[in-house]
Amino acid sequence: MDYRPVPAAHDDAFDAAVSYAFSPERGPDPDREYPDPPESFRPRALYDVGDGDGDCTTDGEEEVTANDMTAVCGYYEFAARIRGGTRELAGIAAVASPPEARRRGLVRELLGSVHRELRAEGVAFAALWPFEYPFYRRLGYARVGDRTRITVAPDALASACPDPAGSYERLAADDWRRLDDVYAEWADDDLGLDRTESWWRRRVFRSWNTDPYVYGWVDDTDTLGGYLVYTVEEGDDGRTMAVSELAYRSRRARGQLLRFCRNHDSQVRRIRIGGPADARLFDELDDPRAAETEVRPGPMARIVDVAGALEAVGYPTDADGSVVIDVTDDTCEWNDRTVRLVIVDGEGRADPVEERGGAAVELDVGALTRLVVGSHGVDRLIELGDATVHDDAARETLVDAFPSTEPYLREGF
């Protein structure tokens, strides 16, 4: 097998493989045109051309055709907030293989090549939305956040809506800069992504299924105070206004956006709003039981390069110390080792330790990922049995170095 970028001539075959994997009812030859991916998307594939070296090459010695494609995926080049700064993060997506190529370990081989490429490019983190959590756990990924889905009847929102003020405006892709200003204030969680113009145009305003509506609320100073992105879904028991993003600069703006949703009472039976795991409407409703609140597991992530990740992130300035960590990684052999993390003045250095054994901390790469991105503190990992810490000094160093941050990844990909 040979791992390569997918050339433009193979785009149709790539799209067909992905469509059949995620929309099998359309079959392997879909007739629907999908929106172009953002410019940051990098499609990759394994080609059955004999013994490849696993490296990413654009000009392999052997000619390949679309029929040689056995497994595909891609990754987005993201910039994400992690531990006090913006870090490079690869968003893994479109992982697929045709039915005749399955159960041969090809996806594992494909993702191993992706991880190797990312490490060579200096990218230390990867994230994805799993089709199956156990499958990706076996590849070193761990769940790093959850999400909430609130479902409520429009009339029940009345008590959450302030008196009318300002105005509503339908927004188009050319308004993306105005939206991005709101997004930058609102989406300040760890794992929040810096959106590009291409992402706004091709992923916020476009969809694989139904392109969403985007409306904003403008205050009395003609400033965009917030916006929402939604579709209207038909169902056997009535319509649902499905809000995928409700962003705002202030509580006042949030209330006016909820009023916009409330104003759809003659058209939809229910409003469904997605958000972070701690999202609630209980305090704003006369009857808090009117809002059905469901918490669901969120995305997964993994560290692609342990040393690179530990040296890339920022640390609290009062977290000086050192700790020896033994990391287990069954799929990225370069991570399967012991390192000494030394923290001085908010910066970390990860030095390899040649001999294994005797480390103060033992964990696998998934648990280390949770610790570094902030979804789980060290005490929680110990409680879950995902980390073993042999002395109090090492535990205190990790507590100080990696406080929990409650990351939330908003984008689907």
Domains in the chain: boundaries: 2-123, 147-297, 305-401
224-276 pLDDT, tens per residue? 999 999 999 999 899 999 999 999 999 999 999 999 999 999 999 999 999 88
**Phi, psi at 2, each rounded to 5°:** -125, 130
- For domain 147-297, give the fold: Aminopeptidase (3.40.630)
Q: Answer yes or no: same fold for 2-123 and 147-297.
A: yes
Q: What's the pLDDT score for residue 30?
A: 60
Q: What's the pLDDT score for residue 26?
A: 66
Mean pLDDT of all residues in 320-348: 96
Whether 104 shows a pLDDT value over 90: the answer reads no
Kindly state the tokens that stand for 408: 């939330």
**Phi, psi at 360, each rounded to 5°:** -75, -25
Q: What's the pLDDT score for residue 57?
A: 42
Residue 251 · residue 223 · CB < 8 Å: no
Q: What's the pLDDT score for residue 277?
A: 75
396-411 pLDDT, tens per residue? 999 999 999 989 999 8
Whether 58 shows a pLDDT value over 60: the answer reads no
Read off the pLDDT band of 35 (50, 70, 90).
confident
Domain 305-401 listed as CATH 3.30.1050.10: yes
Whether 59 shows a pLDDT value over 60: the answer reads no
Q: What's the pLDDT score for residue 52?
A: 46
Q: 2-123: CATH homologous superfamily? A: Gcn5-related N-acetyltransferase (GNAT) (3.40.630.30)
Whether 136 shows a pLDDT value over 50: the answer reads yes
Weakest mean pLDDT among 64-68, 71-75, 117-121, 183-187? 64-68
For the chain, what is the HEC assignment?
Answer: CEEEECCHHHHHHHHHHHHHHHCHHHCCCCCCCCCCCCCCEEEEEEECCCCCCCCCCCCCCCCCCHHHEEEEEEEEEEEEEECCEEEEEEEEEEEECCHHHCCCCHHHHHHHHHHHHHHHCCCCEEEECCCCHHHHHCCCCEECCEEEEEEECHHHHHHHCCCCCCEEEECCHHHHHHHHHHHHHHCCCCCCECCCHHHHHHHHCCCCCCCCEEEEEECCCCCEEEEEEEEEECCCCCCEEEEEEEEECCHHHHHHHHHHHHCCCCCCCEEEEEEECCCCCHHHCCCHHHCEEEEEECCEEEECCHHHHHHHCCCCCCCCEEEEEEEECCCCHHHCEEEEEEEECCEEEEEEECCCCCCCEEEEHHHHHHHHHCCCCHHHHHHHCCEEECCHHHHHHHHHHCCCCCCCCCCCC
Looking at the DSSP assignment, which residues form a beta bridge with residue 363?
Answer: 327, 387
**Phi-psi domain of 232 (left: phi exceeds 0; alpha: psi -120 through 50; beta: other):** beta
Averaged pLDDT of the chain: 91
Looking at the whole model, is its pTM more than 0.75?
Answer: yes
Q: What's the pLDDT score for residue 99?
A: 80
Q: What's the pLDDT score for residue 3?
A: 94
153-190 pLDDT, tens per residue? 999 999 999 999 999 999 999 999 999 999 999 998 99
Whether 56 shows a pLDDT value over 50: the answer reads no
Whether 31 shows a pLDDT value over 70: the answer reads no
Q: What percent of the chain has pLDDT over 70?
A: 94
CA distances from 393 to 351, 360, 361, 377, 398 (A): 19, 9, 11, 15, 9
Q: What's the pLDDT score for residue 358?
A: 87
**Phi, psi at 290, each rounded to 5°:** -70, -20
Q: What percent of the chain has pLDDT over 90?
A: 78
- Give me the torsion for CA of 46, 47, 50, 54, rounded to 10°: -30
Q: What's the pLDDT score for residue 280?
A: 84
Whether 278 shows a pLDDT value over 80: the answer reads no
Mean pLDDT of all residues in 300-327: 96
